[in-house]
Amino acid sequence: MRLEPNLEFAQDRLHDFIENNLHEYAYKRNYDYGPENRSNISHLSPFISHRLLYEFDIAKKVLSKFPYLKVEKFIQEIFWRTYWKGWLELRPDVWDDFKTSLYDLKKKDKQYFDAISGKTNIECFNDWVNELKEHNYLHNHTRMWFASIWIFTLKLPWQLGADFFLEYLYDGDIASNTLSWKWVAGLQTKGKHYIARPDNIHKFTNGRYSNIKLNTSMPALTGQQDYLIKNQDFSNFQNKNDQLLMFDTDLYLSDELIDKYSKIYLVENNNDTRSIKLCENVLLFKTNLFNNIECLSDKISIITNDQTENLFKSNHKFDVIYPTVGENLDYLNKLKDIFDLDLNIIFRREDAFCWEFSNKGYFNFKKNIPKIISKFLV
Instruction: Write the CB contacts of 118 (distance below 8 Å, at least 6 apart in sequence).
Output: 125, 126, 127, 129, 130
Write a three-state SS string for 113-146: HHHHCCCCCCHHHHHHHHHHHHHCCCCHHHHHHH
Query: Does residue 222 belong to any structural domain of this protein?
Result: no
237-276 pLDDT per residue, tens: 999 999 999 999 999 999 999 999 999 999 999 999 999 9
pLDDT at 47 exceeding the cut of 90: yes
Same domain assignment for residues 56 and 122: no
Residue at 184: amino acid letter: V
Give the burial class of 350: count Cβ atoms within 10 A of its Cβ; 0-12 exposed, 13-18 middle, 19 or more buried: middle
Give the integer Cα–Cα distance in Å for 253 and 293: 9
301-347 pLDDT per residue, tens: 999 999 999 999 989 999 999 999 999 999 999 999 999 999 999 99
pLDDT computed for residue 223 by the predictor? 85
Q: Which of 204, 228, 251 is the last residue of a domain?
A: 204
pLDDT at 377 exceeding the cut of 90: no
Give the burial class of 326: count Cβ atoms within 10 A of its Cβ; 0-12 exposed, 13-18 middle, 19 or more buried: buried
112-143 pLDDT per residue, tens: 999 999 999 999 999 999 999 999 999 999 99
- In CATH, what number is assigned to the domain containing residue 176? 1.10.579.10
Same domain assignment for residues 118 and 156: yes
State the average pLDDT over residues 11-20: 97
Same domain assignment for residues 248 and 281: yes
pLDDT at 104 exceeding the cut of 90: no
Query: Does residue 220 belong to any structural domain of this protein?
Result: no
Paired residues of 343 in beta bridges: 318
Query: Does residue 328 belong to any structural domain of this protein?
Result: yes
pLDDT at 103 exceeding the cut of 90: no
Report how far apart, in Å, the C-alpha atoms of 39 and of each of 17, 34, 50, 139 are.
Answer: 8, 10, 22, 12
Same domain assignment for residues 18 and 118: no
Query: Does residue 37 belong to any structural domain of this protein?
Result: yes
State the average pLDDT over residues 277-305: 97
Same domain assignment for residues 338 and 365: no
Same domain assignment for residues 253 and 327: yes
- In CATH, what number is assigned to the domain containing residue 259? 3.40.50.620
Same domain assignment for residues 334 and 267: yes
Does the predicted model carry a pTM greater than 0.95? yes
Query: Does residue 66 belong to any structural domain of this protein?
Result: yes
Rounded to the nearest integer, the mean pLDDT of the chain is 96
Same domain assignment for residues 81 and 97: no
Same domain assignment for residues 157 and 60: no
Please state the domain count of the chain.
3
pLDDT grade for 378, boundaries at 50, 70 and 90 = low
Same domain assignment for residues 199 and 138: yes
135-176 pLDDT per residue, tens: 999 999 999 999 999 999 999 999 999 999 999 999 999 999
CA angle 251, 68, 9 (to 5 degrees): 35
Same domain assignment for residues 289 and 260: yes
Query: Does residue 334 belong to any structural domain of this protein?
Result: yes
pLDDT computed for residue 330 by the predictor? 98
CB 173 within 8 A of CB 47: no
Instruction: Write the CB contacts of 12 (distance below 8 Å, at least 6 apart in sequence).
Output: none
pLDDT at 2 exceeding the cut of 90: no
Query: Does residue 188 belong to any structural domain of this protein?
Result: yes
Query: Does residue 137 belong to any structural domain of this protein?
Result: yes
pLDDT at 16 exceeding the cut of 90: yes
Give the integer Cα–Cα distance in Å for 349 and 334: 26
Say what percent of the chain tops pLDDT 70.
99
pLDDT at 106 exceeding the cut of 80: no
The residue range of the domain holding 340 is 243-346
Same domain assignment for residues 78 and 120: no
